[in-house]
Every structure is written in structure tokens, then in C-alpha cells.
Amino acid sequence: MPEYKAPLRDMRFLIDDVFDFHASYAALGATDATPDMVSAILEEGAKFCEQVLAPLNRFGDEQECQFNNGVVTTPKGFKEAFAQYVEGGWNGLAADPAYGGQGLPHSLGLLISEMVGASNTSWGMYPGLTHGAMSAIHAHGSEEQKQTYLTQLTEGRWTGTMCLTEAQCGTDLGIIKTRAVPQADGSYAISGSKIFISAGEHDMSENIVHLVLAKLPDAPAGTKGISLFIVPKFLPDAQGQAGARNGVSCGSIEHKMGIKASATCVINFDSATGFLIGEANKGLNCMFTMMNHARLGTGMQGLCLGETSFQGALKYANERLQMRALTGPKAPDKVADPIIVHPDVRRMLLTMKAFNEGNRALAYFTAQLLDQAHRADSAEAREEAENLLAFLTPICKAFMTETGQEATNLGMQVFGGHGYIREWGMEQLVRDCRIAQIYEGTNGIQALDLLGRKVLGSQGKLLRGFTKIVHKFCEAQADHAQLKPYVAQLASLNTQWGELTQKLGMAAMKNPDEVGAASVDYLMYSGYVTLAYFWLRMALVAQQQLQAGTGEAAFYQAKLATCAFYFKRLLPRTAAHLAAAEAGSECMMSLPAEHFGL
């Protein structure tokens, strides 16, 4: 298994130099998040992930979760690691102090989540789902619900889930069958079955708090009739502790391709007592708070697993001896040269590096937006951050997981035949990463959300909010001595982005299928242009640091070299996505279903 090391140097480059988290924290009044505290959090978080979580990763994949008569047991060491995580205060790092949290910025929580996911993705699912549940309850729950549930969730004594999917519906939540019948005491009797529930049952906490979508007896049809309920495994007693067992049970766990140590459960509700969150029939709005949190976390999984795969591939490429370099021996004292001398191996490693570091920049920029959306003084600033978040969330989820999957595949390829063998650990990263393109809304759904709802649905407003940022950057750096050609390339693509959007919008007015036909290519085009912007921001800072002679020249030169690789080797993929997006729906939709084959 690759030995994961937290990429602290690259993380600090982004938070200190590129995005200046410290100035942002000061402006938002997050005075506790001093540079010294941020540094200490990174150092201690890295130790926990490297020394506690990473060693459990392969073992968890091999042992998997065990199911016995409704009881789920996590792999050996998982429960103890969670107790250590809670004891270290990591679970409540960014949580509201009113309910026991430390109240630090959300972006700091994301930095820890990156290290957790990269060291042990399966284990990270348990606190990840809990943080999503906490965000939904905090945003939409009553004060009594917050006092009852958030305090326990923040403390880590209870964990949380989100229960959406049913056997007959995944994306189309309007046809869920789970029902909620009002009771005389103000509670609801919840009956139904949910599938694919991550962390739905396990042995790591005293109680599990399920957030469940269900319909009232008189609910309107479709998504307008969905309500959200808190349904705990154990009902809180008078003291707020886990009391009597509720009508909630685990029917089975799934046997999956990857993330095998994450319990993916069938959860049955048999007249279970539930409590309404927010307004009746407005549950989908409440759940989107949790889903957007989860989608950003899922996007991070692409980065996390790509990073771990890169670390393993880089070490192997420097050690594995095969053939001689085409330009002559590079290690004449050895029987062959290390494979890192070969251009194709360089191509794979640089592709991984370019995606990982570009995606990290995108993720950290988004993390800053989360802070601004929660903490900015003015309503205008909060709205601007929320609009940018709405636009970037589907890109984060889909583009980061698509490129993360490519990175893990390349990492396995660097190992050759050894990469296909379990003992090296590279194939596990491929398997673990694959689900990220599917859950929390498939990447096809993310593409529809981006083009159909976020871009065309806002008449281009959300797109312009980001392309204006890119345009201003390109204007400011148009004559930069070293970066001028790349700035011009980005400026051209940024203009083309708007033109493509207008063309697709006009086509969709005549035929709505044009949106569905173009959406995936549109999203990938958007992702490549977005990463190009962040690569230029990183290259600009790297060039400035080199000219200032601040040291670590090799680090900054590597940034510039990787930026050049991205613009010359990866960004040209936009041309293919542009051509495909503009090709129209006719070639997809004209073939009758019965003529596909079989």
C-alpha cells in the first residue's frame, strides 16, 4: 500500500501564498484561526492521518464490514480510531460553539477532510456523513432539535446519515414511497425502506441519527411533496441521551467494488418515530444543504485518492529499473534506468500531478467561499459567495472525480502488472475512487445541474459571476513576461465558454434534448478552463517567489513546469469537448431504442 504523507508543503503554498487564508480569516472575524493555530492543526492532523488512519486502510479493504443479524461490525481498529479522532477534537473543529464546537472556519475542516480521505477513504465516510447531517440540522432544525442532536453529533457520541435513495428511485426523489404519518404528540410514524445508506449502521458510536426523506399522507405529488425528518436509531431520553430503541433496523449491507470498510446499508423504518425538520413538503430544500456539503466532500475524494495514487506511483517510478532512456543511460552504474526517465511515464506522472494540484486549488478556493457564505458581514457578500458555490459545486463533484479516477488509473498503470496485484495497494485506490463518480448525484446529473439549472436556469448569471473573475485576472496579467502565452490561451477559452453557452441555450429553446446531449462535455470543458485559471494563479505566485529569491526554488520551478504541461498537454482537451457539445442531440436520439441491439 502506498505510504501516505500529507502534502503539507503544497497545502501551505495555497493557504499562505495563493489564497491568503490568514487575511481572509481576519476579514471575516475568525480571530482564533491564527497562523500558528492553523499550522498546528495541519501538523497534528497530518500525524493522525499518517500514523492512525493510513495503516488501517488496506486492512479495512480486506476485512470489510461484517453483518450479523442486523448488527454491523467495522474492521478492527476503526472504532478505536474514531474514538481518538473525537478525543482530539477533530469532529467539532468547524462546528458551532453554541453546541460544543470550536467554531473555526469551514475551510480548516476541509483541510482535515482532505487528509482523512487520502489516508483512508472508507473510514472518512463515517465523520463525513455526520458533518453533512450537522449542517442540515444547524440550517433548518428548531432550537430544541439543535440542542438535542447537534450537541451529541458535535461531541462525536452520535453519528449521522442521509437517507434518500429507495429501490425504485435514486435521482428521481419525487417517487419515493417512504411515508410519514402524523401522531398525536407532534411526532411522525415513519415507514419505508432506504438503500445505499452510507454509515447507516455500525459500532463506532452510541447512536445514529438518520435524516430521512418521506411523504405525508396529503403531500402533493412529485418533489413538492417531500418532507425531511430526524429519525434516530435510539430515541433521546429526558436527559438527551440515547434511550429506547426506535423502529429502525439494518436489513443488510452491500458487497461493493470499493470503499469496503464503509458500511453501505439497507435501512428499514417500521413505524419509527421521526421529527419534522423545517416546513412540511419543503424537505428537499433542507436536504440540499446536506447534499451540497456531501457533493463537495465527494469531489474531494477524487483529489484525495489521486494524491495517494500519485505518491505511490512517484516512489515506484524512481525505484523501478526497466530499459535505458532513449537519449542514453541515466544510471550507468545500474542494470537499467529508473522508469521515470521514460517520456510516457513522465506523461502519466505529470497528468496526475497537474490534476491533483489543480483540483486542490479549486477545492481550497471553494472552501474560502464556504467561509464567506457563512461569515461575511454583508448580505451582498454572502450572496456572491453562495452564487459562486452554486456554480462551482457540480464542477467540483464531477470534474474532480472524473480526473481523480483518471489519476488513480494512471497510478496503477505506472506499476505495470504489479499495479494490478492487491499487495501493492494501487488497485484498491482505483476501486475506492470509482464510486465517487456515481453517488451524491451521478456525474451526468451534475452536468445537467450545471448547464440546465445553474447556467441556463439563471440566464447565464452564475456563469458570468465566475468568468468575470477569470476575465479580470487575464486583463491584469495580459503582458506578464513569462505567462503571457498562457494568459492569452485562457482568455480565449473564457470568451469561447460564453459563446458555447449562448449557442447551447439557443438550441435548447428549440429542443430541450440539446441540454442533456451537451451537458457532460460542457461540464468537462468548464472544468478544464476552471483549472487553467487556478494553474495560472499558482504559476503567478511561483514566478513572484522565484524572482524574490525566497528559497525553495525547486518547488516553484516544479509549479511552473507543471503549469506548462497542463496548458500544453491537458487544456487542449477542451477542443474535443467543445466539438462534441456543439454536435447536437440528433446523432444520439435518432436511433430507436429497439434498434440498439440484443
- Going by pLDDT thresholds of 50, 70 and 90, the confidence category of residue 29 is very high
Q: Distance from first CA to last CA of the chain, Å, rounded?
A: 42
Choosing from 143, 440, 499, 586, which is the catalytic residue?
A: 440
The set of residues, in sequence order, having a beta carbon less than 8 Å from that of 234 and lying 6+ positions away, is 206, 207, 242, 243, 244, 245, 246
- Give the pLDDT confidence score for residue 443 in this predicted structure: 97
Q: What is the mean pLDDT of residues 555-566?
A: 98
- Give the pLDDT confidence score for residue 261 in this predicted structure: 98
Closest CA to 543 of 526, 555, 532, 533: 555
Contact 174, 127 (CB under 8 A): no
Q: How far apart are CA 583 and CA 577, in angstroms?
A: 10
pTM, two decimals, is 0.97
Q: How far apart are CA 480 and CA 492, in angstroms?
A: 16
Q: How far apart are CA 283 and CA 274, in angstroms?
A: 13
Chain segment 300-315, per-residue pLDDT in tens: 999 999 999 999 999 9
Q: How far apart are CA 405 and CA 356, in angstroms?
A: 11
- Going by pLDDT thresholds of 50, 70 and 90, the confidence category of residue 132 is very high
Chain segment 508-537, per-residue pLDDT in tens: 999 999 999 999 999 999 999 999 999 999
Chain segment 499-509, per-residue pLDDT in tens: 999 999 999 99
- Burial track 476-499 (b if 16+ CB lie within 10 A, e otherwise): ebeebeebeebbebbbebbeebee
Q: What is the mean pLDDT of residues 21-46?
A: 97
- Give the pLDDT confidence score for residue 289 in this predicted structure: 76
- Give the pLDDT confidence score for residue 447 in this predicted structure: 98
Give catalytic status of residue 594 as yes or no.
no
Chain segment 142-163, per-residue pLDDT in tens: 999 999 999 999 999 999 999 9
Whether the per-residue pLDDT at 290 is higher than 80: the answer is: no
Q: What is the mean pLDDT of residues 352-378?
A: 97
- Give the pLDDT confidence score for residue 508 in this predicted structure: 97
Chain segment 66-103, per-residue pLDDT in tens: 999 999 999 999 999 999 999 999 999 999 999 999 99
Q: What is the mean pLDDT of residues 372-398?
A: 96
- Give the pLDDT confidence score for residue 101 in this predicted structure: 97
Cα–Cα distances (Å) from 454 to 247, 388, 394, 530, in that order, read: 39, 10, 9, 16
- Give the pLDDT confidence score for residue 62 in this predicted structure: 97
Q: How far apart are CA 157 and CA 82, in angstroms?
A: 10
Q: What is the mean pLDDT of residues 291-308?
A: 92
Q: Nine-digit cell at 107?
A: 475551510
Spell out the domain ranges in the chain. Answer: 453-589
Whether the per-residue pLDDT at 291 is higher than 80: the answer is: no
Q: How far apart are CA 62 and CA 425, in angstroms?
A: 11
